[in-house]
């Protein structure tokens, strides 16, 4: 059965730290404005499977719907900070539909 919840998962390896203070100040308010909340925000993820070094930071953000997640990701208040993060780090971002076990 499908849930209406939606998740964004970010893996971030900063290449410069110039963007970080502004991002840390603006991102939480921007995601909260779209109904989002951090489920996890960690500076030291541990790789359990696979190869390579884990990213420097990972975040899992929950939204009430896929529309809310997209609205946050493309919002005017988040866009300049998203673009600064993308320019200043190696990133991977994932959009996940919430699923409940059947």
Give the span between the Cα atoms of 34 and 48, in whole angstroms: 32
Q: What is the pLDDT of residues 38-69, one digit of tens each?
A: 999 999 899 999 998 999 999 999 999 999 99
pTM: 0.89
Q: Which of 67, 62, 54, 83 is nearest to 7 (CA)?
A: 62
Q: What is the pLDDT of residues 89-98, one digit of tens each?
A: 999 999 999 8
Please report the pLDDT score of residue 99 as a whole number.
79
Per-residue pLDDT averaged across 71-99, rounded?
96
Per-residue pLDDT averaged across 79-101, rounded?
93
């Amino acid at each position: 059965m499908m849930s209406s919840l939606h998740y964004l998962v970010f893996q971030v390896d900063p290449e410069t730290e110039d963007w970080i203070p502004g991002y840390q100040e603006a991102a939480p308010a921007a995601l909260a404005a779209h109904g989002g909340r951090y489920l996890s925000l960690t500076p030291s993820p541990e790789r359990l499977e696979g190869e390579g070094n884990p990213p420097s930071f990972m975040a899992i953000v929950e939204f009430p719907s896929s529309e809310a997640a997209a609205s946050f990701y493309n919002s005017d208040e988040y866009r300049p900070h998203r673009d600064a993060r993308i320019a200043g780090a190696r990133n991977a971002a994932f959009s996940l539909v919430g699923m409940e076990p059947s």
